[in-house]
């Protein structure tokens, strides 16, 4: 990401563009130990079953399961994994208070066509000796996954890459809705949306349910692929996730779509009708 010997662009300027501190470029992250990685996997699996759990409830649950944990540790791991309780709350995790927060635009809006509203989210993918982050861009109406990217860090770049790929393949939505995570409030993310004249919407208090659509995607992906295949390498993870998302879009009937349609069938049928 950072090229330290690049003469055309100083280190300070590169950090400024990527919205990271210069001191952070010298930091070598300390990997989590095996026990903590196992604990993260347990939390992730439990989150798929009880997404309303907050840090206090996780502590109670894990202590009953025999883990010696405190709330400070659980809150740190939940933040690292981008896991939060899907319950009404005034703020979402990962928010950068220096970034501008945009209003929520979807209250009482009827979403009835593709490319009317897109949304995105990030999830944690367990690996044998660490973890990855997966971001996906979804069309809200058809539930089609428009693009996705894997990363070993939470910098906003991989989210922006996924956004740009979706825009190049499918055009522009009218509204793009996200949570208030720092990746989606960063200047670089906002600039892409503004440059394409896309209305910016962000979840606020009482709007937590909007994230349920992608939460269901993560649940299906993890139960049907991630925890069965137990990815052993980044290359294998990328291949398997890509295969599953192709299956999800093209072959897997979606429970919320009429006539057992797949996301692709719903997306393309409606867009073709609109074009006609």
Residue 66: closest CA among 35, 108, 24: 35
User: Over the chain, what is the mean pLDDT?
Assistant: 84
* Confidence band, pLDDT 50/70/90 cuts, at residue 207: low
SS3 call for 224: helix
Domain residue limits, the chain = 30-87, 117-275
Task: Please provide the size of the chain in residues.
Answer: 276
Q: Which CATH class is domain 30-87?
A: mainly alpha
Residue-wise pLDDT for 151-166, tens only, equals 988 888 999 999 999 9
Mean pLDDT of 85-112: 71
**93 pLDDT above the threshold of 70:** no
Distances from the Cα of 221 to the Cαs of 7, 160, 240, in angstroms? Answer: 43, 22, 10
Instruction: Collect all residues with Cβ–Cβ distance below 8 Å to 170 and sequence separation of at least 6.
Output: 115, 139, 146
- DSSP per residue over 55-124, as a string? HHHHHHHHHHTT----HHHHHHHHHHHT----S--SS-TT--TTS--PPP--TT----STTSEEEEEEEE
Handedness of CA 200, 206, 211, 212 (dihedral sign): negative
- The answer to whether residues 122 and 181 touch, using CB atoms and an 8 Å cutoff, is yes
pTM: 0.75
* Owner of token pair 């280190």: 11
Q: What is the pLDDT of residue 134?
A: 96
* Tens of pLDDT, residues 15-50: 665 555 555 454 445 667 888 888 998 998 888 888
Could you tell me which residues come within 8 angstroms of residue 256 by beta carbon, excluding any fewer than 6 positions away?
Answer: 143
Lookup: tokens for 120: 């995105």
Q: Which CATH number fits domain 117-275: 3.40.50.720, 3.40.50.150, 3.30.420.10, 3.40.50.880?
A: 3.30.420.10
**CA–CA distance from 68 to each of 31, 60, 130, 189, 268 (Å)?**
20, 10, 21, 39, 51
Residue range 125-136: average pLDDT?
91
More confident: 203 or 202: 202
What's the rounded Cα separation, in Å, for the pair 248 and 143?
A: 10
Q: How do residues 214-252 score in pLDDT, each as one tens digit? A: 888 999 999 999 999 989 999 999 999 999 999 999 999
Token pair for 36:
């903590």
- 249, 223, 234, 147: CA torsion to nearest 10: 20
| Equal CATH topology for 30-87 and 117-275 | no
């Amino acid at each position: 990401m950072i090229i330290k010997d690049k003469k055309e662009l100083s280190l300070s300027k590169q950090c400024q563009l990527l919205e990271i501190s210069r001191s952070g470029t010298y930091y070598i992250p300390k990997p989590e130990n095996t026990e903590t990685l196992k604990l993260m996997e347990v939390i992730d699996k439990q989150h798929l079953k009880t997404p309303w759990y907050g840090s206090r409830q996780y502590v109670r649950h894990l202590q009953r399961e025999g883990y010696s944990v405190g709330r400070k540790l659980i809150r740190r791991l939940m933040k690292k994994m981008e896991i939060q309780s899907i319950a009404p709350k005034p703020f979402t995790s990962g928010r950068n208070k220096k970034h501008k927060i945009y209003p929520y635009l979807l209250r009482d809006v009827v979403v009835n066509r593709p490319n009317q509203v897109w949304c995105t989210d990030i999830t944690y993918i367990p690996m044998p000796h660490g973890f990855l982050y997966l971001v996906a861009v979804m069309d809200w109406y058809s539930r089609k996954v428009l693009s996705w990217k894997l990363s070993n860090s939470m910098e906003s770049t991989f989210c922006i890459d996924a956004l740009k790929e979706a825009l190049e393949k499918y055009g522009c939505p009218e509204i793009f809705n996200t949570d208030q995570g720092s990746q989606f409030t960063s200047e670089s993310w906002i600039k892409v949306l503004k440059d394409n004249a896309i209305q910016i919407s962000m979840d606020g208090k009482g709007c937590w349910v909007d994230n349920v659509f992608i939460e269901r995607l993560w649940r299906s992906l993890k139960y049907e692929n991630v925890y069965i295949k137990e990815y052993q390498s980044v290359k294998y993870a990328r291949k398997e996730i890509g295969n599953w998302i192709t299956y999800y879009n093209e072959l897997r009937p979606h429970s919320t779509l009429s006539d057992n349609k797949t996301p692709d069938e719903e997306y393309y049928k409606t867009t073709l009708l609109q074009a006609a």
